[in-house]
Chains A and B, each alone.
Chain A
């Protein structure tokens, strides 16, 4: 299996008045056809910026300053805006977090869908409409023909997210970047969306990059997981491996602090301290100040290493099997 999308040492920085913000600083991963890749990390760790970098949509004052984004072997990082437009939506699509905000409130659903079709293929409005209807049906919207000419506000949040997914699916893209698409939804609706997405990914062979801060969500969805901390991927590998045998102390801490993993009435295992500001990162491993295993050696930059369990982690003091409480 070859990777549809391969990100190599991606660096996206923001040049603000206060200084350079290394929002993404050397991120590498790849996704294969039909696979789901979970990109996990806490707020501000650079997940969204990574997603936008893949879409070629980093806005000023941000800029991709290094690395490559290989889509089917072709480097996208230096494309011009026009070339990006041809790729966006057609080969790589994106879904956003808040379904209330992703659809333009003043345009009909049909307008927003048809324009997405016509942006890439020159077909008649009628044909484009047919295609939209078919896609809406695929994501489980009942009686799409009647609802297509409605405005977004006439839809519930779950429905809107389905519409957004349908728009992403219009051209059967090879890659879909989903940036926390279920976070804002209710539990029962989230489950519905997850089920739909799961079906679609399996059916069409689309590669999915699922961005989330909630390990629980990806644990049952993703084939591979990459954990981000302060702009870097600190650990990545097969989902089962990473979750079962977290090597990086951060991943470990993350898993341990999920409440349902702990007994009731007992204190949760917690990671002390808090995420450092990106403008003022500690030298070497950014997790060092919060890490129980940290030593002076951690002051050096940590390249990703392969762990005995098979995953890659940027850590010289990985968690030993025995420390990982089950």
Chain B
């Protein structure tokens, strides 16, 4: 670098505090009370799910703790052991409150793991397709098209029928039905971003492909993806619940919310509403909370609707 000293008129930039786009988005997010409620509920649920073993009165997945002599008790009943079942028990004699918290945990584990895996795969595929274009793009997108031309529920249904039950299998099925969706979303926004001059500038500065893809392209395709991912987590929870309802989801001994609902479904008419209704409410609250958060994120992260 040459040593010529230059003394141009140094200009003062506006005296605003340096807030990152992230902080700005967070402030925007907080502007909706509904979304904040959603966020709080979501956080509480995640905490409950994480700390389930410590906060629940019973481990509903441990058979030796269950007794069918306590089954189908209405909310508020007392067990042989003298503890109270605040939300009643199910046909296996599980404490519904514990079952719901564990079910939530199961639902969240399945949905979040599946979404993250699908996201990672989809993102890598989508970015690669958009960045390199040409044949790679065509190839990846054909596979994506192919995947998307099968309805998710059916693919999951068939897959699980083939793979059999199990948490891991449900996750695999969810990843398989979701990744293409992310790939397409990422590619869509990455194609737009790729046209922007900062990508050309980065290449002009001699930065490697990997760096341009992951340092420049990726972060800028994230916002729409975050929105999609939040909504997809909610969808994944619902899909898992549906699959469990159809009898191809998680194993009966480790019920998720969906399976709890399905188990209780046959008891609805007989008046044992609590077996199905409470997990249903929990599921609903969980999905609504996530969707509320996702919705607000969508508004916050969409620059076009920003005032």
Give me the interface of A with B, judged by CB distance under 8 Å: 16-17, 61, 272-274, 277
Contact = CB atoms under 8 A, between A and B. Distances in A.
Nearest to A273: B11
B307 A272 contact: no
B11 A16 contact: no
Contact of B307 (A16, A273, A274, A277): A16
Interface in B16-34: 31
B9 interface: yes
Q: What 5 A-B pairs come out closest when comparing CB atoms?
A: A16-B307, A272-B9, A17-B307, A277-B14, A273-B11
Contacts of B9: 272
A17 B31 CA distance: 10
A16 B306 CA distance: 11
Given A17-B307, A273-B11, 7 more contacts: A16-B307, A17-B31, A61-B307, A272-B9, A272-B11, A274-B11, A277-B14
Contacts of A273: 11
Contacts of A272: 9, 11
- Chain B interface size, as a band, is under 10
A61 to B, nearest CB: 8
Contacts of A61: 307
Nearest to A17: B307
A288 to B, nearest CB: 15
A251 B154 CA distance: 69
Q: Is the interface of A mostly helix, strand, loop or mixed?
A: loop
Contacts of B14: 277
A209 B14 CA distance: 34
9 contacts: A16-B307, A17-B31, A17-B307, A61-B307, A272-B9, A272-B11, A273-B11, A274-B11, A277-B14
Contacts of B11: 272-274
Contacts of B31: 17
A39 to B, nearest CB: 25
Nearest to A18: B307
B169 to A, nearest CB: 46
A17 B11 CA distance: 29
Interface string B283-307: 0000000000000000000000001
A117 B307 CA distance: 34
Nearest to B15: A280
A171 to B, nearest CB: 34
A17 B307 CA distance: 9
A22 to B, nearest CB: 17
Nearest to A274: B11
A16 B307 CA distance: 8
A18 B145 CA distance: 45
A17 B27 CA distance: 12
A61 B307 CA distance: 10
B94 to A, nearest CB: 49
A133 B163 CA distance: 68
Nearest to A270: B9
A274 B14 CA distance: 10
Contacts of A16: 307
Nearest to B11: A273
A198 B133 CA distance: 48
A208 B56 CA distance: 76
Nearest to B14: A277
Contacts of A277: 14
Nearest to B9: A272
A273 B13 CA distance: 9
A16 B31 CA distance: 14
